[in-house]
Amino acid sequence: MNPRSTVRIAGHPVHPMIVPFVIASYMGAFLADLIYKGTYDPFWANAAFWLIAGGIIASAVAATIGLIDFLFEPAIRDISAAWWHLGGNIVMSLVSVLDWVLRYEVGPEAGSRAYVWLSLAVALLLVFNGWQGGQLVYKYRVGVQD
């Protein structure tokens, strides 16, 4: 039997329902930073600032659900990809909170100029974490009903 997701709606795992909001928010923030760098239009700096905030909120929801799955399904904890996924997401969340706090202190425009490298780091962590999450689903069949 495949490892089961603890948090489900009608048998469907909830964690992967929330993750696209995290990806869209953080990747959107990185793209907004890049556009700001090319245009210096303050709209894009503000967009990056608020997209990071939205990513932090979506991450908190996804992380809570993912942690419940991790803690309450022993078979998930036996998979090394689950540990990498968890660790990578913790690092990504901490970097995102740091990025938002620094931008809050200096303002969105100065933040987009100074901290674009943090949104790049988050984008790269998203790729790694997504790959690990994909391993959990496609290789180890976590949350998949056969």
Place of tokens 């089961």: 4
Domain extent, residue 129, equals 8-139
Binned at pLDDT 50, 70 and 90, residue 50 comes out as: very high
> Is 111 within the bounds of a domain?
yes
Single pTM value for the model: 0.95
- Count of structural domains within the chain: 1
In this model, does residue 123 exceed pLDDT 90? yes
> Do the domain assignments include residue 145?
no
Q: Which residue has the higher pLDDT, 3 or 145?
A: 3
- For 84-102, the pLDDT digits (tens) are 999 999 999 999 999 999 9
Asked if the structure places residue 108 within a domain, the reply is yes
Residues 134-142 have a mean pLDDT of 96
Kindly state the average pLDDT of the residues 45-63.
Answer: 98
With respect to residue 146, please indicate whether it lies within any of the assigned structural domains.
no
